[in-house]
Amino acid sequence: MNKLFISNWKMNLTLAEGISFSNEISRTINKSIINGNIEIVICPPFISIPNCFQVLKSVAKIGAQDVSSMHDAKGAYTGEISAKMISDYADYVIIGHSERRINLKETNHDVSLKGINVIKNNMIPILCIGETETQRDSGEYISVLLNQLRESSKGFEKNMIVAYEPIWAIGSGNSCKTAQIIEISKQVKSSYGDETPFIYGGSVNEDNCKEILDQKEIDGVLVGSASLSLDSFSKMISLIDSE
Ligand code: PEP
């Protein structure tokens, strides 16, 4: 499969800023000679998705950062956005990000309902799992991660991308070591099959992106803050480009 480079904008960039940044990254991707072995996925905030889709559609796919668990299509759910609504633009949907699990108290069950709604609308869930620093230090991180994955993926186990995002690595500048990422990939692939895509996120930047993407056990990267800087984004793309 193609390696994935997924950019998560989180709650950043207004609509105007998002369009302007999309134009810049589209020029960057156009200038590169990525020879079809990398899929670039951009995940803007919901409000910017339709416009960013128009700007980026020839160079990248769109992902949503979340989706409603309530219903896959429509209903009396104030403030929610359904998988069906997103599916006009997006091929991927991030679910179970630790920022939502922690800040919005999303449970594994909520995440599983979201994944089912994503699948029903022919998109691919990018299911995030991750351990805290305390869980890693206790040595119990493998069972924590596999339990989170089993509970969150109920109903779509054969149709997901697993994103390993250790909570201690996100936004900290302190990425997981490559060997530690590979250890988790082997655990996930031995439980869910070698064909289950496994990607890594957590302080990926121009210094570590290529080394991570070069590993056969790692099918892609999920990048937050570094992908919001045009300079870092361009550097990461040119490193991928120089394959
Ligand atoms: C993320 O939160 O998905 C992420 C990978 O963030 P960062 O790259 O900023 O650590």
Q: What is the pLDDT of residues 161-170, one digit of tens each?
A: 999 999 999 9
8 phi and psi angles, rounded to 5 deg: -105, 110
Helix axes 141-152, 108-120, angle to 10 degrees: 50
Please tell me the distance from the alpha carbon of residue 41 to that of residue 34, in angstroms, as a whole number: 14
Domain limits for position 148: 3-240
C-alpha to C-alpha distance for 229 and 114, rounded to whole angstroms: 30
73: CATH: 3.20.20.70
Nearest CA to ligand 1 atom 7: 224
Q: Which atom of ligand 1 is nearest to the CA of 171?
A: 10
* pLDDT for the residue 30: 86
> Which of the residues in the chain have pLDDT under 50?
none
- 221 and 239 Cβ atoms separated by less than 8 Å: no
The 3-class secondary structure across 142-187, one letter per residue, is HHHHHHHHHHHCCCCCCCCEEEECCCCCCCCCCCCCHHHHHHHHHH
Per-residue confidence (pLDDT) for residue 31, from 0 to 100: 82
Atom of ligand 1 lying closest to residue 227 CA: 8
Determine the distance separating the centroid of ligand 1 and the alpha carbon of 224, expressed in angstroms. 4
- HEC readout, 100-120: HHHHCCCCHHHHHHHHHHHHH
Q: How far apart are the C-alpha atoms of 201 and 144, rounded to whole Å?
A: 17
Contacts with 41 (C-beta within 8 Å, 6 or more apart), sequence order: 4, 5, 6, 7, 60, 61, 62, 63, 91, 92
Q: Which atom of ligand 1 is nearest to the CA of 205?
A: 8
Question: What is the spatial distance between Cα 221 and Cα 83, in angstroms, rounded to a whole number?
Answer: 23
pLDDT value for 135? 97
99 secondary structure, DSSP code? H
pLDDT digits (tens, 9 = 90+) for 35-44: 668 899 999 9
**pLDDT value for 243:** 54
Contact yes or no for 52/61 (Cβ under 8 A): no
Q: Which residues are catalytic?
A: 97, 165
What's the mean per-residue pLDDT of the chain? 96
Question: pTM for this one?
Answer: 0.97
pLDDT at 186: 98
Q: How many domains does the chain have?
A: 1
Give the pLDDT of residue 37: 80
Helix, strand and coil content of the chain, in percent to the nearest 5, comes to: 45, 15, 40
- Pocket (CB within 6 angstroms of ligand 1): 8, 165, 170-171, 201-204, 222-226
